Amino acid sequence: AKVAVLASGRGSNLAALLEAQARGELPVEFVLVGSDKAGAGALRLAEAANIPTLALDPRSHADRRAFDQELLRRVAASGADWLVLAGFMRVLDGAALKPWIGRIINIHPSLLPKYRGLHTHRRALEAGDAEHGASVHFVTAELDGGPVIAQAYLPIEAGDDEDRLAQRLLPLEHRLLPAVLGLLASGRLQWDGRAARFDGRPL
Ligand code: GRF
């Protein structure tokens, strides 16, 4: 399966995907890494791995919809079957998303449906939650609102502050995202409109 990744930031989740693939644990081909930020670390990681990159500046487009359409048109042109949002900090326009529904996933650092949007670690701490986590979900036009595929759980510890919690969660994200992508891209996990259905064969 061919996979494109969009990321706005440092790209540690992208790095985890590339490492899983390099270890032979993720049978996909990365055909494009795109970003809305020319300085994104994710683009440097992709360049180092010889993956084609795309930096598209939202300010050089008439409006949000024009940007999203151009971005997803370029992703489609890469030949990608799957699109992974790995720290991509924009909400994509519903019409532009349409051809990707069911083939686009996002990793979000909370136990959805809790804490959509930003500052998830702080919000989990402020709420006094006993546990925190990360979710991989299908993307819809609703921010962090699409069907959840899988979650990784992390007990909150007494010494956690926002940074420590984020840092302790990150390795779980780095295992969750490649695992889910691998199952989806190999057809072993399929969305049936209600749930992600696992084929039951040995992992
Ligand atoms: C991760 O916490 C991810 O869950 C969130 O943004 C962060 C991106 O980190 N959506 P990185 O760029 O993958 O290092």
Q: Which residues line ligand 1 (CB under 6 A)?
A: 7, 9-13, 86-87, 107-109, 134, 173
Distance CA 156, CA 186 (A): 34
Distances (CA, A) of 14 to 24, 40, 126, 131: 16, 11, 29, 25
Q: How far is the CA of 201 from the centre of ligand 1 (A)?
A: 31
| Signed CA dihedral, 164, 165, 168, 173: sign only | negative
Q: Write the CATH number of the domain with boundaries 2-188.
A: 3.40.50.170
- Parse the chain into domains and list their residue ranges: 2-188
The pLDDT-based confidence of 29 (bands split at 50, 70, 90) is very high
Angle at the Cα of 151 (from 11 to 167), degrees rounded to 5?
45
The pLDDT-based confidence of 192 (bands split at 50, 70, 90) is confident
* DSSP characters over 44-56: HHHHHTT--EEE-
Distance CA 39, CA 24 (A): 29
ipTM of the complex: 0.97
pLDDT in tens, 52-109: 999 999 999 999 999 999 999 999 999 999 999 999 999 999 999 999 999 999 999 9
Residue of 107, 116, 172 to test ligand 1 pocket, by largest number of atoms within 8 Å of CB: 107
Name the closest-CA residue to atom 10, ligand 1.
87
Structure-token pair, residue 135 = 């979710």
Residue in the block written with tokens 């702080």: 122
pTM passes above 0.95: yes
Distance CA 200, CA 49 (A): 33
How is residue 98 annotated by DSSP?
A: G
Please report, in range form, the residues annotated as the binding site: 11-13, 64, 106
Name the closest-CA residue to atom 14, ligand 1.
12
| Signed CA dihedral, 172, 173, 178, 183: sign only | positive
What integer pLDDT is reported at residue 191 of this predicted model? 87
Ligand 1 atom index nearest CA of 15 = 13
Q: How far is the CA of 51 from the centre of ligand 1 (A)?
A: 20
Strand positions, DSSP E, 65-130: 82-85, 104-108
Q: How far is the CA of 89 from the centre of ligand 1 (A)?
A: 9
Report whether pLDDT(193) > 90: no
How is residue 159 annotated by DSSP?
A: T
| Signed CA dihedral, 39, 43, 49, 54: sign only | negative
pLDDT in tens, 135-153: 999 999 999 999 999 999 9
Q: How far is the CA of 87 from the centre of ligand 1 (A)?
A: 4
Paired sense of beta strands 2-6 and 196-198, if any: unpaired
**172 touches 137 (CB < 8 A):** no
